[in-house]
Structure 1
C-alpha cells in the first residue's frame, strides 16, 4: 500500500469534514459526556478558513489510492508570554485521525512524522497530544511515535455560578 502525505488543499475540505465527523462519532463511544458531533457546516467553514490561511493550523493529509484517509491537525499555540516562569518554548497541539479500515497500516505514523517536520519548520519545539478520555488506542499510538507524559493536566468543571 502506497501512502502519499501532502499539505491539505481547499479541494480536501469535504474529506476533512468527513474525517472530523468520523472522529467525533468514534470519540462519543468512549466518552459521550465529553464529546459531541459538531455541526458539519461549522466544520466545513473552519477547514475552509484554516486551509486557506495556513499560518495557525497545519494540516497534512494522507492519501491511499487517491482517497484522503487521514489527517493530522497541528494547532499552533500562542507565543509564550515573557512573564511566565516556564522556559519559553513554541508549542502546538496535534490531533490525528485515520479512517477505520486504514488504521494499523502506517497512515497515522506517516501523518505524525509529516506534522512534526512541518511544526519544526515553524519553530515549534514541543507537540502536545491531549487525550481527554480513556483511550488506550490513542495512548499507544502517540507513545509509539515518541510522545510521553508531561506533567499533569487538572481540570474542574462548574455547573452554574460559583459558590460565594
Structure 2
C-alpha cells in the first residue's frame, strides 16, 4: 500500500473511484468539500466554529500536507473530488496514569452532500484503518459533536463505540 500521492484503492464496482493521498493540487477541492460540514458545525455550535472559508481551509490543508504524521485521503471519481479524510498519527507515551498508545486520530471525514450514502465515507474509513494497521497503530479515535447523530450512527455501523464523554460549561 502506498500513500503520499499514489492511488491506494480502486472501487470494484465502478473501477473509476479511487481513494488516494491528497496532494498540493487537491487543496482547493479539500477546502470546498469542507465547507458543507463546516457549515453544519457553525449552525449547531456558532460560538465554537468559524464560518466556512474555502481559501483559509485550502491554506490549512496546504500546511498539513507537509507534516510527516498526517494522512489526508481524497475520494476521487473521474477527476471529481467526492470526499476526504484528514487524520494524524499520535504516539502517546505512558505516564503515571495511562498506558502508551499509538493512535490514528481522525480529525475530519467529509463526503460531498450529493454523494452521501454511496460508500465513500466507508471507503475512506477502511483505507484509514488499513493505513493504521500498516503503521502498527493500535487505535483509531475520532470526535463528533453531540448534535451530529448521523455521524454517530455511521461510525457505530463501522464498529466505533463511545470511549470518553467531554463536558463543557460556559461561565
Q: Normalization by structure 2: what TM-score?
A: 0.81
- Aligned counterpart, 2:39: 25
The 8 Å contact of residues 74 and 119 in structure 1, kept in 2 or not, is answered as: no
- Kindly indicate whether residue 145 of structure 2 is the aligned counterpart of residue 135 of structure 1: no
Q: Structure 2: which 5+ residue stretches go unaligned?
A: 1-12
Q: Note the 1:5-154 alignment, pairs <5 A.
A: 5-53=19-67, 55-77=68-90, 79-94=91-106, 95-154=108-167
Partners of 1:149 and 1:67 in 2: CA distance: 33
**Runs of at least 4 residues off by over 6 Å:** none
Tell me, what secondary structure is at the counterpart of 1:59?
Answer: strand
Q: Encode CA deviations 1:74-123: one digit per residue, 9 max, x unaligned.
A: 1222x223324222111132121001010000000000001111122223
* Cα RMSD after superposing both structures: 2.0
Higher relative contact order (CA 8 A, sep 6+): 1
Partners of 1:74 and 1:121 in 2: CA distance: 15
Aligned residues: 156
Tell me, what secondary structure is at the counterpart of 2:122?
Answer: helix
The 8 Å contact of residues 129 and 142 in structure 1, kept in 2 or not, is answered as: no
Deviation at 1:34, TM superposition (A): 3.2
Q: Normalization by structure 1: what TM-score?
A: 0.84
Q: Structure 1: which 5+ residue stretches go unaligned?
A: 160-164
The 8 Å contact of residues 70 and 86 in structure 2, kept in 1 or not, is answered as: yes
